[in-house]
């Protein structure tokens, strides 16, 4: 779902504190993701940003276009009841995130539904 639909589905998400756990997570195809946790709902989610359109002007300057908000895709990947529990779960994430296909490391650590 897009980021706006994500917040519209549950206003508690919009009003809640959010904690970021890096923006360089990658999948096997080398797509990049941001990982965030919503305090009010306990939702851990990934957001993938489209590649920004970068152009070069006649003076050699690089220009990055603004990306529309509805192009940001959000996927809820789990629920963790507290920030302390999440920090325990993600211990070592800063280094692991930089590894190739780091989402595999992340998914191994997520609690499985009962």
Using CA atoms, how far residue 103 sits from 43, 48, 108, in Å, is: 17, 12, 9
Rounded to two decimals, what is the model's pTM?
A: 0.80
Predicted local distance difference test score (pLDDT) of residue 48: 86
User: What six digits make up the tokens of 84?
Assistant: 């302390």
How far apart CA 13 and CA 74 sit, in angstroms, is 13
Predicted local distance difference test score (pLDDT) of residue 64: 47
> Strand 62-64 to strand 54-56: parallel, antiparallel, or no bridges (unpaired)?
antiparallel
Q: Which of 1-10, 79-88, 96-105 has the lowest mean pLDDT?
A: 1-10
Quick check: 71 and 62 in contact, CB under 8 A? no
pLDDT digits (tens, 9 = 90+) for 40-71: 999 999 998 665 444 455 665 555 455 554 57
Predicted local distance difference test score (pLDDT) of residue 23: 94
What mean pLDDT comes out for the span 63-88? 79
């Amino acid at each position: 779902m897009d980021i706006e639909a994500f917040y519209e589905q549950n206003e508690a998400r919009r009003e809640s504190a959010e904690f970021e756990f890096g923006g360089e997570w990658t999948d096997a195809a080398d797509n990049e993701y941001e990982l965030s946790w919503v305090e009010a709902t306990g939702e851990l989610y990934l957001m993938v940003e489209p590649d920004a359109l970068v152009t070069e002007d006649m003076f050699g300057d690089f220009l990055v276009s603004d990306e529309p908000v509805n192009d940001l895709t959000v996927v809820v990947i789990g629920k963790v009841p507290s920030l302390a529990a999440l920090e325990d779960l993600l211990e070592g994430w800063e280094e692991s995130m930089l590894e190739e296909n780091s989402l595999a490391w992340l998914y191994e650590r997520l609690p499985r539904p009962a």
